[in-house]
Amino acid sequence: MIKETLRIGGMSCAACAVKIEESVRKVDGVEEATANYGNNTMTVEYSEGTDRALIVRAVEKAGYTVIDGDAEAIAEADRKEASYKKRNLILALAFSIPLSIYAMGPMVGLDVPFHDDPGIYSAIQLVLCAVVMFAGRRFFTRGISGLLRMSPNMDSLICLGSGVGFLYGTYCTLSVFGGDTGMANHLTFDSAAMIIAFVSVGKYLEAMGKVRTNDAVSGLMDMRPSEASVIRGGKEVRIPADELVEGDIVLVRPGEGIPADGTVIEGCSSVDESMLTGESAPVSKRPGDGVYGATVNGESSLRIRADHVGKDTVLYQIVGMIEGAQGTKAPIARIADRAAAAFVPAVICIAVASCLLWLIAGGRSVSFSLTVLISVLVISCPCALGLATPLAIIMGTGKAAKHGILFKSAATLEAAGRVDAVILDKTGTITEGCPEVTSIYVPDGSDDMILPYAAAAEQDSEHPIAKAIRHRAEADGIHIPDHTAFESRTGNGVICDVEGTKTVVGNGALMAEMGIDVSELEARFSSLSAEAKTCVYVALDGKARGIISVSDPVKKTSRSAVASMISLGVAPIMVTGDNGDTALAVGRTVGIADIRYGAMPKDKIDIVKELQIKQKTVAMVGDGINDAPALTQANVGMAVGSGTDIAIGAADVVLMNTDLRTVPTVLEIGRATVKNIRQNLFLAFVYNAICIPIAAGLPYILGMGEFTHMPMLAAAAMACSSLSVTANALRLGRFEPGSITHE
C-alpha cells in the first residue's frame, strides 16, 4: 500500500475538499482519500498496482489540479498564491472604493461629477465595476466551472452574487441609454464591486493565515546549515550541505549547525538539540555518540562521520510526520465537511426562494428582490466551516513539534484532548531505563558462579535487566561462557544451558514453574524489592543459588509529571512486569496510587481494554517491545523517542525526549486544540444561523426599513467570518502548555 500527500490547486472551501475525495475514491485501487482545505492537500492511500496518473486525472475531472514538488516548492507556491491574491486585492480596492464613493455620494450630499447626466453617471460606474470584476476573475472561472459540473462551491456563491449585481447594473445602464433615465437610481455596481473587494480581503488574509500555519515546519527546515566543512583528500573543503554523502567526515566548529545525522569520531562538546526534543539543556557528546542534523554544536569542535544525509535524516522524518498529521482529518472535521458539502446547494435554494417570495408574494420590486438574492448568496460562508478544524490542527501539530512531540494523525491530536487515564510503563518511562547491578546475594557468601552464568544466560536478551547483568560482568572483567538451548519466558526470565549447567534466571513465577525452591531466599528478595530494587533469582541445576538486584533510578521529573497529570484530572496508572514490592516503592515515590505489577504484555492490553469498557479515553506510554501491543490498543499510544523501533512504530505519538513531563504537555496541547476547534465551529455555525435570515429579509419583516446596501454589508460580514476563524486558530501559536485552565 502506498500513502502519498498531494498538493491540490483550486480549492475554495470545504465543499471542494468533499468533491475531490468523492472523485478520487472512485478510482480502482484507492483505499482512502482525505482532502484538506486548511492546507490545500490530499492524502491518498492506494495499492501498488494503481496508476498514479488515474488519481491525478480524477482530481482534474473534479475541476482541480495536482501541484508536484517538494515541501520547499509547495511553500513557495503558497507564498506566490498569497502574492497573487494581494495584487488582485489592491486592484479591487483601488476601483471599488472610488466606485462606492461615487455611487453613494449623492445620498450623503456629495457633489460628484456627471451626477446630473444619468448616462455618463451610469457608464462611469460600469467601467469602474468592470475592472473590479476583472480583479475577481478567478471567482467567476471557478464558480461557473463548479455550477456546470453540478458541484457548486464557495466561488459559485460569490460568482452568482456579484455576477447578478453586475448584470443587473448593466441592464439598468442599457435602459438608461434606451431612454429610461429613472433606472439610474437602481444601479447595483457598487454592491457587486464591494462584494469582490471584501471577499478578496478575506481570501488574502486566509492565504496569509495558511502561510503562517506552516511556519513551524518551514522553521525546522530553515535550521539546516546551508554549507558544511568536509575532509576530502586530507584537506578541509567547504561544500553545500546538500552535496554531502554518507561516509563523509564533517568538521563542525563551535556555534555551527550539524549538517547531517552521524557519529562523533573525534572531539568532546555539548550539542543543542532543542529543535528536535524541546529540551533546552545541551547534551554532551563524545566519540561514539550519535548527533542529528540541524542541531547546533556548543563549545568545542567535533569531527563527525555522516551516516544519514538529505531526506534520510531524522529532521526530514520529523517534517514528514508533521505534514502527514496535518494532511489528515480529525473525526470532528468530517462532520463539518459533510455540512459544508450540503451547505452551498442549500444556500442557493434559500437565496432563490427568498427572491421569489419577496417578488411574488411580497409584492416587492425586482431591484429589492435581487438585493435579497445577492445578499443571501454572499453572506453565507462555507469557508469558515472548512477552515474551523484544519487550521487548528495545523497550528496544534506545529506547536507540539516545538516541544518535541510528533503526532501521526489529526485524529490522535483530537483524542489526546479527551484522555482521562494514562497508563505508564515503569522501566525507561518513570525510571531512567538504565538499571545497574547493585548487589549479588549468595547465602554462602561466594558469587563466583552466579554472575558469569547469569550473564551467559542473558546474552540473547534485550531486557534492561539483562543488559545490566552483562554490563556488570564485563565491567568486572569476568569471562562470559557460551550457552545453548536458550529459551525466553516473556515477563518472567530466561532458561538455557551454560557449559552443561541448566541455568534459570528470573522471577518467583518462573522458579515456581520450574519447581525450584526459593524459600531460603524469599526474605532477602522481599527486603531488596522494598528498597525499589528489581531482583531476579539465579538457579543452577535446579537449585536456587542467589539473587541479583538491579536498581533503576526514578527520573527527577517523574514526580512533577505525575502531579501535572493529576491536576489535569487524568488518572495515572503504573503497569509493570516487575514484582509488587519494587512496583509499590516506585509508585509511592512518584505519587501514583493505582499500581498494577507482575503484568505480561497481554495483561497490559487487558488493562487498556478494561478502562475503555468503562468509557475511559486511554493513553499508554511506553518504550519497549513488550509495550507495543498496548500502545496499539490504547486510544493514544505514546512512545518515547529513545524506545524501540517497534514501540515507536506502534505508537500514535512519538516523544522526542525522555522527560515524562512531555506527557501532560501532549494532553494540554490536545485539549487546547479541541477547544479551539469547537470555538471555530461555534463561530461558523452561529454566524450563518444569524446572518442568513438577516440577508433573506428579516429586518424588513421587523419593520427596520430597506437596507439598500445590504449586499456590501453581507460581503463584509462574510469576510469577517473567515477572518475570525483564521485569527482564532492562529491564537494557538501563542499557547504555551501550563497556561490553560484545568477543569
SS (H, E, C) 103-140: HHHHHHCCCCCCCCCHHHHHHHHHHHHHHHHHHCHHHH
Name the one residue in this structure whose C-alpha cell is 457633489.
111
User: What is the three-class DSSP state of 578?
Assistant: coil
Name the one residue in this structure whose C-alpha cell is 568486572.
476
Compute the distance between CA of residue 312 and CA of residue 350 in angstroms, rounded to an integer.
54
Amino acid type, 661: R
For the chain, the first-to-last Cα distance in angstroms comes to 43
CB 398 within 8 A of CB 322: yes
Name the one residue in this structure whose C-alpha cell is 538504565.
434
Which of 739, 566, 562 lies closest to 668 in space, CA to CA? Answer: 739
Q: What is the DSSP letter of 256?
A: P
How many secondary structure helices (H) and strands (E) does the chain include? 26, 26
Task: Specify whether 425 is catalytic.
Answer: yes
**CA 471, chain centre distance (Å):** 40
Strands 436-441 and 594-596: unpaired
User: What is the three-class DSSP state of 266?
Assistant: strand
Catalytic residue (one of 425, 578, 581, 659):
425
**Cβ contacts of 454-457, under 8 Å, gap ≥ 24:** 454/503, 454/505, 454/536, 454/538, 454/548, 455/480, 456/480, 456/481, 456/482, 456/483, 456/496, 456/498, 456/503, 457/483, 457/486, 457/494, 457/495, 457/496, 457/498, 457/503, 457/504, 457/505
Q: Which grid cell is 713?
A: 454589508
Beta bridge partners of 3: 45
Amino acid type, 325: A
- Using alpha carbons only, what angle is made at residue 319 by residues 313 and 320, rounded to the nearest 5 degrees? 90
CB environment 18-41: b (16+ within 10 A), e (fewer): bbbbebbeebeebeebbbbbbbbb
Which of 597, 463, 684, 572 lies closest to 13 in space, CA to CA? Answer: 684
Beta bridge partners of 640: 655
Which of 12, 353, 354, 374 lies closest to 193 in space, CA to CA? Answer: 374
- Helix ranges (H only) for 327-436 are 331-356, 366-379, 382-402, 410-416
- Among all residues, which ones are annotated catalytic? 425
